[in-house]
């Protein structure tokens, strides 16, 4: 068990100089104590490890049967000399032609059945991330000034939001809707929500269709996810109407699923493509900032105002085998974890009304602890699918030792398991690039510490948070765009996208690069500023 001290972190805030009283002129400060993420790599649940191996065996049974068949065949052929083998084959072909043809037919039939029944590979042809116009940029000071001019917040609420912003990791060039900037009226209206949705979704899709040269009528599957704003007709219907897509398109609209819904949407699109061959699927991930703008006094509901910013991503997926040469990435694995059965997890991010009947998202103080538990479950399940065999052997060996002999006692009274900590897998051996949902600086700090990642591994997440803020489910695509703009993604590289959100859910998707990714000459949201990044966040 970790000590109570290890569960908390401290930070010095509100430095200043005492102006009055007997201590006038002396320095003053406050100490903020916050709960850390649980050290989930040190406490592993065996059932989730077994779940990961279950997935691996179900999808890789041929890895066990093919070597066995090769061993049997080699043993049979190895007993014959080259002359005997040639003579035997010639005689069989000469005198038992029916057997040879039958065997060949069985082989061709078996190979055809296997080839036709195996899951089709899913390719990511390309993607686009929307970058709003410069007139929607807002610095942290301007953000507070906008909130003050709106007349909706008392001074205590403004000061609270300012403290959150200054420690958030968000920079001075993020974007918020014009309605929030210029209006003192209620921005959480259907009209403003539709206007913002049209701006970000159509902007991202226009870029996607331009980059891929695909016509909207060629799209067979459309999946849209937006957690808060769910109008009627749906967002997916807005897209179909705007681009005049075909009448038999399979469209889906995911609502209320939080910041990890982008990966859920990819998972849904994959399943649909598996049952609809030779098709294209478009996945649109976004969130409406203005519609979720909270104007009350509840501090736990003011936090989303500080973090969430405008953004949208649009992906083009294909299951056409001829798109192998066009694809940028191939989908490898998706692992989803849902902790909604637990009441605390279910309510840790909860949309409700405050005492003044203002609608907003309430963030629980237990969010970091609950998120850490979901992350532990997810990465434990993912590990057997992606880690090298050497890492799995060391990890599973030490884990098995603890479970088998954990009840034995040493002569000094200490538990034997406590003297032999579990081996912590090195996930840097499984992935070359990491795209962790840019939620906030404290969460990214704790994730880096727990997963033992380097500053370079976390660079894309931190810089995305600084430049674009928390764009909800689309943030992992702005992070991948950052890596491409830096020209770091090479052919064969593996990318891990990790996102978490309300429910409580934690989801992972793994991609493999099919070619070297370049920043290109346009349509990358980082092109105008990539040379200034990374920036110092101290």
433 among known catalytic residues: yes
Angle 475-485/459-468 helices, nearest 10 degrees? 110
Q: What is the largest CA-CA distance in the chain?
A: 112
333 among known catalytic residues: no
- Catalytic position from the list 129, 226, 259, 435: 259
Question: How is residue 492 written in tokens?
Answer: 């064969």
Surface-to-core class of residue 60, CB atoms within 10 Å of its CB (0-12 exposed, 13-18 middle, 19+ buried) = exposed
259 among known catalytic residues: yes
Rounded Cα gap, residues 341 and 344, in angstroms: 9
DSSP code at position 522 = S
470 among known catalytic residues: yes
Q: Which H or E run contains 497?
A: strand 494-501
Rounded Cα gap, residues 18 and 37, in angstroms: 34
- Catalytic position from the list 470, 507, 523, 524: 470
- Sorted by sequence, the CB contacts under 8 Å of residue 337 that are 6+ apart come out as 374, 377, 378, 381, 505, 506, 507
Alpha carbon of residue 441 to chain centroid? 16
Rounded Cα gap, residues 219 and 249, in angstroms: 7
Rounded Cα gap, residues 402 and 418, in angstroms: 8
Rounded Cα gap, residues 222 and 283, in angstroms: 6
338 among known catalytic residues: yes
Quick one: which of 416, 294, 265, 281 has its CA closest to 358?
294
14 among known catalytic residues: no
Tell me if the bond preceding 233 is cis, omega within 30° of 0: yes
Backbone dihedral region of 20: left (phi > 0), alpha (psi from -120 to 50 degrees) or beta? beta
Quick one: which of 262, 281, 284, 271 has its CA closest to 323?
281
Strand partners, 513: 329
- Sorted by sequence, the CB contacts under 8 Å of residue 465 that are 6+ apart come out as 168, 169, 170, 438, 439, 440, 441, 444, 475
First CA to last CA distance, the chain: 32
Q: Which H or E run contains 63?
A: helix 62-78
What totals of helices (H) and strands (E) does the chain contain, helices first?
18, 15
Question: How is residue 247 written in tokens?
Answer: 């009448």
- Catalytic position from the list 292, 433, 450, 524: 433
Q: What is the number of other CB atoms lying within 10 angstroms of the CB of residue 80?
A: 13
- Catalytic position from the list 292, 305, 466, 507: 466
Active site residues: 259, 338, 433, 437, 466, 470
């Amino acid at each position: 068990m970790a000590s109570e001290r290890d569960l908390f972190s401290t930070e010095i805030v509100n430095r200043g100089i005492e102006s009055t009283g007997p201590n006038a002129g002396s320095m003053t400060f406050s100490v903020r104590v916050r709960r850390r993420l649980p050290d989930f790599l040190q406490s592993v649940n065996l059932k989730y490890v077994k779940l990961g191996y279950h997935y691996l065996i179900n999808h890789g049974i041929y890895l066990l049967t093919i070597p066995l068949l090769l061993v049997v065949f080699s043993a049979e052929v190895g007993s014959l000399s080259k002359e005997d083998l040639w003579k035997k084959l010639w005689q069989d072909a000469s005198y038992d032609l029916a057997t040879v043809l039958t065997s060949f037919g069985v082989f061709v039939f078996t190979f055809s059945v296997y080839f036709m029944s195996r899951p089709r590979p899913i390719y990511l042809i390309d993607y686009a991330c929307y970058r709003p116009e410069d007139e929607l940029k807002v610095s942290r000071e301007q953000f507070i000034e906008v909130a003050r001019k709106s007349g909706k917040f008392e001074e205590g609420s403004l000061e609270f939001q300012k403290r959150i912003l200054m420690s958030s990791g968000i920079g001075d060039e993020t974007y918020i809707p014009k309605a929030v900037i210029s209006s003192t009226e209620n921005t959480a209206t259907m009209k403003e929500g539709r206007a913002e949705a049209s701006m970000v979704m159509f902007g991202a899709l226009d870029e996607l269709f331009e980059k891929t040269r695909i016509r909207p009528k060629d799209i067979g599957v459309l999946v849209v996810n937006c957690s808060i704003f769910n109008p009627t007709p749906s967002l997916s219907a807005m897209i179909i109407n705007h681009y005049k897509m075909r009448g038999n398109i399979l469209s889906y609209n995911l609502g209320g699923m939080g910041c990890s819904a982008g990966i859920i949407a990819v998972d849904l699109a994959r399943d649909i493509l598996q049952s609809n061959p030779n098709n294209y699927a478009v996945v649109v991930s976004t969130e409406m900032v203005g519609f979720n703008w909270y104007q009350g006094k509840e501090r736990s509901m003011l936090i989303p105002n500080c973090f969430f910013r405008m953004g949208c991503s649009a992906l083009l997926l294909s299951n056409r085998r001829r798109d192998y040469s066009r694809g940028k990435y191939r989908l490898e694995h998706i692992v989803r974890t849902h902790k909604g059965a637990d009441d605390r997890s279910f309510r840790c991010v909860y949309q409700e009304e405050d005492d003044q009947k203002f609608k907003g998202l309430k963030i629980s103080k237990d969010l970091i602890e609950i998120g850490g538990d979901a992350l532990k479950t997810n990465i434990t399940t993912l590990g057997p699918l992606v880690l090298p065999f050497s890492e799995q052997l060391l990890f599973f060996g030490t884990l098995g030792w603890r479970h088998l002999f954990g009840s034995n006692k040493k002569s000094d009274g200490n538990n034997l398991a406590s003297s032999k900590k579990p081996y912590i897998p090195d996930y840097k051996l499984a992935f070359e690039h990491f795209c962790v949902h840019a939620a906030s600086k404290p969460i990214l700090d704790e994730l880096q510490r727990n997963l033992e990642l380097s500053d370079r591994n976390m660079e894309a997440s931190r810089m995305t948070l600084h430049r674009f803020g928390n764009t909800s489910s689309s943030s992992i695509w702005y992070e991948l765009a950052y890596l491409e703009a830096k020209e770091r993604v090479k052919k064969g590289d593996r990318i891990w996208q990790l996102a978490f959100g309300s429910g409580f859910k934690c989801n992972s998707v793994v991609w493999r690069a099919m070619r070297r990714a370049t920043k290109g000459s346009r349509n990358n949201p980082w092109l105008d500023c990539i040379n200034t990044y990374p920036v110092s966040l101290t």
